[in-house]
Structure 1
């Protein structure tokens, strides 16, 4: 779970889904709304590594 903050730009509590990886054409990407905090990025990195089996 990611709580909304001024840094990440979220307006409501959200979930990161590491099992839903997909590519998006660069033209479909809009402007950035924010940036995940360092501790959330570390948790996301560990979750991706575990889900992909890259121990």
Structure 2
């Protein structure tokens, strides 16, 4: 399950990207760089629903 995210001034992406709901993994805090932007409310809501479905948290 993938969610397509188009570049915007809010999210800071330079090209079309995918949120890979089916590829969850943890990352050590040291592996996280600086923020490039935020996620639009509509995309966050879509991600929330997709994660609930993928993890069977109905």
User: Fold-level match, TM-score > 0.5?
Assistant: yes
Determine the structure 1 residue equivalent to 2:54.
51
Corresponding residue of 1:15: 18
Structure 2: which 5+ runs fail to align? Answer: none
Residue 44 (structure 2) pairs with residue 41 (structure 1): yes
| Structure 1 unaligned blocks of 5 or more | none
The structure where strand makes up a greater share of residues is 2
Distance in 2, matches of 1:3 and 1:19, equals: 19
